[in-house]
């Protein structure tokens, strides 16, 4: 009887130990097979998700009491959601999702995934989590030095992602006092690590102001903004087209005046719809009241000729009109004097009314015996011919010996 009691007691002690050993052995087949952290790198105050997947690769179920994330560096927003889990069957998997928020502003932290078994011990698995405060960067890569009031000017931005993880839903929105744009925003989409994209806006500024670009993006589910402020100066653009007039010639016959010359685009932008005419007191007249040149590229030029009528004026305005690439009209005015043409006309009239005859002195050939005057009609052909004939005569006399005998006679007479 005593032996029977001892056998029963021994069996009672060995039973729980064997059961515990069996539970521990079953729990050893439970492992973490997948871990995801979203976003891959947090920014300060971001919230995110840690997802842990476990699998029971054993042959018997394993009872799980609870699952949680433990760390003083994070806040678990859905704390105690897995305080009662249940059992995971053989060959089955189970997922645990934790909504968390890091408490640190920068660096790596390692919160612990903790799985507490009902009949065995526990499973601990560290979760690497990175917090990076680096924002995406935005800069102006092309903009005019000065904006022309009421004219569309292009501004190009560069948006870059220097982070180790991608950001999504990137968009750029321009704004500012006195600023109007042809598009309200530009959507760039996803920026991968070290990727750069550009956005171009047509900006119309009416006053000196600050042009503000708001770049919004998502890091995981978290909305962020990077703001760039760009000062805008309104004035004359030093790159605009600039009309310069050269080689002006004026001819006048009574009240009719013809003005001709060259127009050059000395600016750095194209000039469109270039045309030349005259202003008051001159009146455009046929055959060329307005001379249309068309487009002039930078450093390009074109000749023109306009005709007009004018009464009693010493000068007239020459008007050059053109448009920029946005269609805005510009006008340049050059004063053209009529005095030289009037004096030439009066001089011609005086010459026609003077008495006929040879002019006195050197008026016919100013500048002396060999002067050519002002044209081919003034070349002294007669004098040149006389000199040529004299040279030929001297050469012939020398070859015939006449020149030597003449010199000898002169010497003999000198000797007497």
CA 320 – CA 243 distance, rounded (Å): 8
Write down how long the chain is. 416
Report if residue 380 sits inside a domain: no
Decide which of 83, 101, 131 is a domain's last residue: 131
Are residue 166 and residue 212 in the same domain, yes or no? yes
Are residue 228 and residue 303 in the same domain, yes or no? no
Query: Around Cβ 198, how many Cβ atoms within 10 Å?
Result: 14
Decide which of 337, 367, 385 is a domain's last residue: 337
The enclosing domain of 277 has a CATH number of 2.60.40.10
Q: What contacts 24+ positions apart, CB below 8 Å, involve 83-90?
A: 87/61, 87/62, 87/63, 88/30, 88/54, 88/56, 88/61, 88/62, 88/64, 89/56, 89/61, 90/56, 90/57, 90/58, 90/59, 90/60, 90/61
Residue 378 gets which letter from DSSP? G
Decide which of 131, 154, 171 is a domain's last residue: 131
Q: What is the pLDDT of residue 412?
A: 64
Report if residue 401 sits inside a domain: no
Kindly report, residue by residue over 240-283, the tens digit of the pLDDT.
Answer: 788 899 999 999 887 899 999 999 998 877 899 999 999 999 99
Report if residue 190 sits inside a domain: yes
> Which pair of structure tokens corresponds to residue 79?
């704390």
Are residue 76 and residue 58 in the same domain, yes or no? yes
Are residue 178 and residue 276 in the same domain, yes or no? no
Q: Are 146 and 234 in contact (CB under 8 A)?
A: yes
Report if residue 112 sits inside a domain: yes
Exposure string over 274-287, b if 16+ CB within 10 A, otherwise e = bbbbbeeebebbee
Ranges under pLDDT 70 in the chain: 1-21, 236-239, 326, 339-381, 402-404, 406, 408, 410-416
What range does the domain containing 282 cover? 243-337
Q: What is the pLDDT of residue 369?
A: 41
- Separation of CA 43 from chain center: 31
Are residue 113 and residue 194 in the same domain, yes or no? no
Are residue 153 and residue 226 in the same domain, yes or no? yes
Sort 318 into a burial class: Cβ within 10 Å, 0-12 / 13-18 / 19+.
buried
Q: What is the pLDDT of residue 308?
A: 95
CA 243 – CA 262 distance, rounded (Å): 10
Upstream peptide bond of 281 is cis (omega within 30 degrees of 0): yes
Helix (H/G/I), strand (E/B), else coil: 264: strand
What pTM was estimated for this model as a whole?
A: 0.59
Report if residue 390 sits inside a domain: no
CA 267 – CA 238 distance, rounded (Å): 8
DSSP string covering 294-328: EEE-TT-EEEEEEEEE-SS-SEEEEEEEEE-TT--
Q: Are 15 and 56 in contact (CB under 8 A)?
A: no
> Into how many domains does the chain fold?
3
Q: What is the pLDDT of residue 266?
A: 86
């Amino acid at each position: 009887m005593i032996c029977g009691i001892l056998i029963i007691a021994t069996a009672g002690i060995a039973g729980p130990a064997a059961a515990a050993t069996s539970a521990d052995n079953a729990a050893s087949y439970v492992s973490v097979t997948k871990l995801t952290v979203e976003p891959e790198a947090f920014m300060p105050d971001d919230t995110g998700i840690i997802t842990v997947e476990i699998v029971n690769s054993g042959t018997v179920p394993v009872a799980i009491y609870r699952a949680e994330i433990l760390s003083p560096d994070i806040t678990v927003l859905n704390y105690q959601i897995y305080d009662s889990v249940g059992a995971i069957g053989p060959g089955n998997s189970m997922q645990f999702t934790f909504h968390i928020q890091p408490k640190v502003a920068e660096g790596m932290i390692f919160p612990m995934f903790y799985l507490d078994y009902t009949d065995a011990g526990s499973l601990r698995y560290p979760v690497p989590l990175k917090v990076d405060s680096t924002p995406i960067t935005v800069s102006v890569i092309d903009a005019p030095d000065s904006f022309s009031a009421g004219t569309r000017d292009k501004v190009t931005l560069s948006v870059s992602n220097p982070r180790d993880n991608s950001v999504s839903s990137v968009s750029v929105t321009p704004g500012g006092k006195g600023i109007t744009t042809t598009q309200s925003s530009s959507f760039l989409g996803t920026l991968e690590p070290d990727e750069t994209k550009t956005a171009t806006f047509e900006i119309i500024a009416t006053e000196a102001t600050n042009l503000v670009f708001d770049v919004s993006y998502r890091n995981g589910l978290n909305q962020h903004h990077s703001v760039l402020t760009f000062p805008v100066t309104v004035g004359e653009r030093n790159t605009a087209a600039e009309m310069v007039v050269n080689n002006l010639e004026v001819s006048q016959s009574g009240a009719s005046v013809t003005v001709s010359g060259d127009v050059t685009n000395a600016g750095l932008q194209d000039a469109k719809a270039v045309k030349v005419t005259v202003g008051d007191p001159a009146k455009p007249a046929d055959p060329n009241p307005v001379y249309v040149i068309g487009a002039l590229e930078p450093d390009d030029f074109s000749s023109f000729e306009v005709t007009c009528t004018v009464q009693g004026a010493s000068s007239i305005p020459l008007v050059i009109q053109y448009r920029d690439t946005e269609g805005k009209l510009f006008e340049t005015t050059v004063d053209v004097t009529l005095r030289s043409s009037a004096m030439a006309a009066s001089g011609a009239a005086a010459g026609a009314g003077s008495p006929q005859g040879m002019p006195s002195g050197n008026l016919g050939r100013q500048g002396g015996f060999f002067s050519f005057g002002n044209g081919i009609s003034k070349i002294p052909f007669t004098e040149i011919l006389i000199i040529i004939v004299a040279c030929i005569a001297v050469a012939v006399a020398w070859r015939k010996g006449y020149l030597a005998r003449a010199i000898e006679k002169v010497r003999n007479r000198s000797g007497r």
